[in-house]
Structure 1
Amino acid sequence: MKDKYRRAISTTNAIIIAVVVIILIVVGVVAYFQQMGSHVPTPSSSTTSQSSVSSTSQSQSTTQQVIKIGALLPLTGQLSSVGAEAQQVLMYAQDQANSLLKQLGVNMQVQVVIEDTATNPQTALSDLQTLYSQGVKLVIGPFSSGELRQIMSYAESNGIMLFSPSSTSPALATPDRINGTIFRDVPNDTYQGAVIANIMYQQGIRAIAVIWRGDTYGDGLVSVVNKTFTALGGKVMLVARYDPSTTDFSSYVSTLANTITQLITQYGKDHVAVYDVSFEEGASILQLASQYPQLTEVKWYGSDGTAGVGSIVQNPVAAQVAVETLFLNPIAAPAHTVFYDQLTQHFNKTLQAYSYITYDIFWIYFYSVLKVGSDNVAAIKSILPKVAAKFYGASGYHLFDKYGDRVSGVYQLQIVNKTASGYEWTIYGVYDVTAHTLTIGFPPAAQPPQGYLYPDDPQALSKLSSIS
């Protein structure tokens, strides 16, 4: 009886011990995988010691880090077609980036927060304040120079970084921006103004009548064109400066037509042109021009404000005037890269030039955050130009001058063509600023240089580790 009792106790003890061992094993396994779940693989142990990317990546926290990137877009107003397309591009980039983070094993998520500025400076300021209240420190935009001028002071005072894809006014390239937190991923209009003035003169134009929007952007660009074209020996007639809020351009276009008549008499129609600096309202100006034969028998030249805008090709009357006058619009050129083609193929159309640049700005921000490990503006400010210098995106290389404006030696020239299905923007050629030469057509797509970061780059962590 005692032997049976002892055997029962032994059996019971063995079961208890076995259960305890199993519990300990399960606890140990769970703890191990919890620890491993927060570890992000890095390319190598040597890479880990070189970069804050890997130290951040190896954080033991299981809470996913959310990085917000704000975007001040003109979804309505005078640049609405530009803003709507930029929104689509940013949502695509956000999805790509979050998929890449999972692929890299980085416990982080990127969220794009969009506000509609309506192409209005005061609205842009209100929108920036809204983004700031939501903890957004890195902002793409705004798109117009008038908006940027309005919000620069608030951004600088509150530690917000701004990165505009399209603000070009030379008036904003000021000493207080040196080593600052405001970047523009386009050259300022000191270059664009010289480009279009030289093109007009090279094409035999000797007198121009100017109609332009009276804001920071328009005034700055017209000032450069006036100075450059006059220095070349041309005649500049500053005919019609209108308030950006104008909706009826009848009197302005009538005055423009009278001036063109006078210039044709003096110089001949082949040596006279209209220079138009506008945004979406350019469609209304072109439509009214159709009522004056003298305005459709001379060449028209525009700016990056009208290059690729939807309102012109969507208005058959305006579009036809653009075709008849060979309405030529320069814009800081996205280089023809394989990523330019990939983006074009994804959206099944050629995007507006600033959409490719907006896409690149997202990735420059993204890789800067990945390098630093946070959205700390002081840290991003220091590393962003270095990351940008090693990034080759949809619009090519990204180098900046002392003001934080992009350095570019090439401008794309866009015109409107009539097709079987309607009207569309097309690339007429590329102008080299340094050589002052115009090349008709678009060069072949280029691959990224060895070792450069590029959009959706699976080798991003190892490449970032070499940047210091």
Structure 2
Amino acid sequence: MRGLFGLAAAIIIIVFVSGCMQTGEKTAAEAEVKEVEIPVGVLVDLSGPLTTYGWDIKTATTIAGEDVNKKFAEDGKPYRVKLYIEDTGADPKKALDTVMALQAKGVKLIVGPMSSGELKSVSEYSRSNKIILASPSSTAETKYIGVTAPEEKKFIFRFVPTDSFQTKGIAELTHELGVKAVVITYTGNAWGKGLEEFGREEFEKQGVEVKTSVEYPNPPPADFTPYIATLEENVNTLLKDYSRDEIAVVVFSYEEVATMLAQTKDSSVLLDVKWVGCDGTAKSSKIIEDVPEKASRIKLFSTVSETKGGEDFDKLNTTYYQQIGNSPQGYGLNSYDATWVLALSFAEVYDKEGKYNADAMAEAMPGMAEEYSMGNYGVYPVSGEVKFNEYRDRIGSRYIIYAVSDGNWNANGVWEFATNRVEWS
């Protein structure tokens, strides 16, 4: 009897242990199944005219992905961001090809593209396939990206204010600099054309004469000398009525300004007047690496939407500095916040519906951005308050004014949208 009892007991123990093991295996398998990947494409320029800003966005977005995943893990959430970083070279066709390739991999959320020309190229495909785009740096007015009504831009969010804000700041800046007449040169894409149109209007409101506007092709030409000659001719004409301190060359351009300056002769009249740039030139490393003396001579006052500060910016800045050796710039800050808003919106919709829903997420993102801005998820934006207008474009507030001196970019002041005033530092 004792033998039979012992045998029975042994069988019970084996069955119990086996059951526990099976239960443990099932729990582990269930845990593995429950993990939900959030695939996020990142479209950046790492080889074209926006490389300074592209590498900034890549670095900041990578850090954002790590921080988001850490937060989800701490909160016991099953979501994990996976980034697909792609170089578009700021080329509209390549941007569209890349979005299509990412969609084939199941990627429905994208940080980017960077330029307005690229955004215009992918906007229809985004709408048709319900791919949510969160651009950290496209600033062209809506009509220049092929949008005429808010519902056409349902899946496109821009985490940067449009040029209707920036051109007001640029016009006030030129006025503050004592400029009374300008010649404009601009890249012939959606972004450049929008800046020229809105800029011309704002200059005229300030009583600043616009002598001419000189468009050059996009992608930019290798030889800028014909365009330089036209600018020189018009500046010389203005010198009949204005002093050199009252004239400026306005460049609505990307980092090709470095090539333009390199091809401008030291004796050129263009180097004797002020130059005013924009967010396409502000803090460009290529400009100060290639033409530091000429850039210092003309100053190249440039504006960029940039708001930062607070404990969460300090954390990002520390990590970024350890990796790169400098601080994140405005578009990098925007991309960091865009990654957070995309991930939090995805998680909110998935929690409710048990699946990804593009329409629900597009509707949730504006509210999520405001919740995120108030710190309701235990983290605050590093680029300031994130709030969108009816076109899902960020509402602007301030632009930092940078200029080159002694071969380096330095902050010279701030233009505040609320007051339309420049405060010099």
SS of equivalent residue, structure 1 residue 238: strand
Seen in structure 2, the aligned counterparts of structure 1 residues 218 and 141 have a Cα distance that, compared at 3 Å, is: same
1:141 is matched with which residue? 112
d(CA) in 2 for partners of 1:333, 1:178: 27
2:327 is matched with which residue? 350
- 8 Å CA contact 1:209, 1:238 repeated in 2: yes
Seen in structure 2, the aligned counterparts of structure 1 residues 134 and 363 have a Cα distance that, compared at 3 Å, is: same
Unaligned runs of 5+ in 2: 373-379
Pairing partner for 1:341 from 305, 314, 322: 314
d(CA) in 2 for partners of 1:230, 1:141: 33
1:107 is matched with which residue? 78
SS of equivalent residue, structure 1 residue 336: coil
- 8 Å CA contact 2:225, 2:264 repeated in 1: no
- 8 Å CA contact 1:69, 1:112 repeated in 2: yes
SS of equivalent residue, structure 2 residue 195: helix
1:275 to partner: Cα distance? 0.3
Pairing partner for 2:338 from 326, 350, 361: 361
2:417 matched to 1:426?
no
d(CA) in 2 for partners of 1:174, 1:262: 39
- 8 Å CA contact 1:209, 1:239 repeated in 2: yes
The one-letter amino acid of 2:78's match is: N
Query: How many residue pairs end up in the alignment?
Result: 406
2:377 is matched with which residue? none
CA deviations on 1:402-460 (whole Å, 9 max, x unpaired) are: 00000011111122233xxxx4323222210120122234xxxxxxxxxxxxxxxxxxx
2:278 is matched with which residue? 303
2:370 matched to 1:379?
no
- 8 Å CA contact 2:44, 2:112 repeated in 1: yes
The one-letter amino acid of 1:402's match is: E
2:56 matched to 1:85?
yes
2:400 matched to 1:408?
no
Q: Which range moves more in the overlay, 295-304 or 320-329?
A: 320-329
1:94 to partner: Cα distance? 1.9
The one-letter amino acid of 2:389's match is: D
2:364 matched to 1:390?
no
CA deviations on 1:26-61 (whole Å, 9 max, x unpaired) are: 2454466567668xxxxxxxxxxxxxxxxxxxx877
SS of equivalent residue, structure 2 residue 240: helix
The one-letter amino acid of 1:267's match is: Y
CA deviations on 1:362-387 (whole Å, 9 max, x unpaired) are: 11111112212254212211211111
1:322 is matched with which residue? 295
CA deviations on 1:257-294 (whole Å, 9 max, x unpaired) are: 22112212311111111101111201111223353442
- 8 Å CA contact 1:337, 1:395 repeated in 2: no
d(CA) in 1 for partners of 2:103, 2:11: 54
Pairing partner for 1:185 from 128, 149, 159: 159
Identity of aligned residues (%): 29
- 8 Å CA contact 1:137, 1:375 repeated in 2: no
Seen in structure 2, the aligned counterparts of structure 1 residues 416 and 26 have a Cα distance that, compared at 3 Å, is: farther
- 8 Å CA contact 1:70, 1:112 repeated in 2: yes
- 8 Å CA contact 1:209, 1:275 repeated in 2: yes
CA deviations on 1:281-326 (whole Å, 9 max, x unpaired) are: 01111223353442222111001111122211211xx222222222
- 8 Å CA contact 2:250, 2:275 repeated in 1: yes
1:95 is matched with which residue? 66
Unaligned runs of 5+ in 1: 1-9, 39-58, 442-468
Pairing partner for 2:175 from 188, 201, 205: 201
- 8 Å CA contact 1:174, 1:403 repeated in 2: no
- 8 Å CA contact 2:127, 2:153 repeated in 1: no
Pairing partner for 2:47 from 73, 76, 79: 76
SS of equivalent residue, structure 1 residue 411: strand
- RMSD over aligned Cα, in angstroms? 2.1
Structure-1-length-normalised TM-score: 0.82
Structure-2-length-normalised TM-score: 0.90
- 8 Å CA contact 1:213, 1:243 repeated in 2: yes
